Chains A and B, each alone.
Chain A
Amino acid sequence: MIKAMRTAASGMYAQQLNVDTIANNLANVNTAGYKKSKVEFQDVLYQRLRAAGSRSSAGTSVAVGLDVGYGVKPVATQRSFTEGTLSQTGNPLDLSIEGNGFFQIVMPDGTMGYTRDGAFKLSADGQIVTTDGFFVQPNISLPGDSDQVSFSSDGIVSVRVSGDSEPQEVGQIELAKFVNPAGLEAIGHNLFIETSASGAPLLGNPTLEGFGRINQGYLEMSNVEIVDEMVNMIVAQRAYEINSKAIKTAEEMTEIANNLKR
């Protein structure tokens, strides 16, 4: 009887984690470049009370065994890298990627981070940085007197210096892509880092196969769908509830057993 309570408790714990993840998705519904995640569940081990094929008292062999499961466990949170919708901002330093690539960012400790959030800014000395001030790799700096910056869809950065009639090229955006983006680790600040599951980054220029093209003046919005998350939340809440009912029923059955003797 205690076993049924623990089994159902594992269900409550799993649904709690599910709601935690949904809440984080909903909190980031307006975060540019955010990728939603979902919790994956698996059933856990089965206790063998009687094996299938064993002999019954009547001398026949038992067709079905007696395996009782011990509940559920959350095994992973999987991030979905489907593309978010693009939102026009008009800001010349807002970039979005239409495709599978990531911008490369040098973090303050010198290691590489990857992001889909292309809301870039200029540092005091004219370099392209993220909102947190981390440098975009490869480093691109704009001349101080440039007044018009444009990014082509294949990532070539050109500026027009005031007084000049011809724009000049100042750099090239390079993107990274991964065999298994779902294996990337999110570290906050809209950044991901590579892991052994994601594999090493493959580098390439935008518009090359699979890297995607750059859209200037657009930001990629979060790929969280409110309706989906709401439905998931309802399902998680009801699953939580039903597991609590299983615990309550098991508890009442224990009480009934206790009351057998008046």
Chain B
Amino acid sequence: MENLIPTTYSYLAVSAVMFALGIIGVMTRKNGIVVFMCIELMLNSVNLALVTFSKMWEVSSPDTAVGATGSMLVFFVMCVAAAEAVVGLSVIIALFRNKLDIDINNVNIFKW
């Protein structure tokens, strides 16, 4: 029971494994939307690592204005991820309109 108690390593390990699963998904899947969801998974795992670091290093002090830097970073990452999801999905819709398919192996008009 003693060595089941999570330390910061436990959270960082979960974050690293999730990021690696996202990498594997981006490299193996062919469906464009699933590749996109794997990118979201990677963003989320980085957020988890940021919150863990925030918990590790932001010492508690009465002055709350110095804390919460990690939370602010996660907040901005989430906002940018929302904007990115909107633009990416509209690109996928435009792709589907032109090719009736979102298999990323068939999207090679920029390949030379």
Tell me whether A and B are bound partners: no
Query: Which residues does B use to contact A, with CB under 8 Å?
Result: none
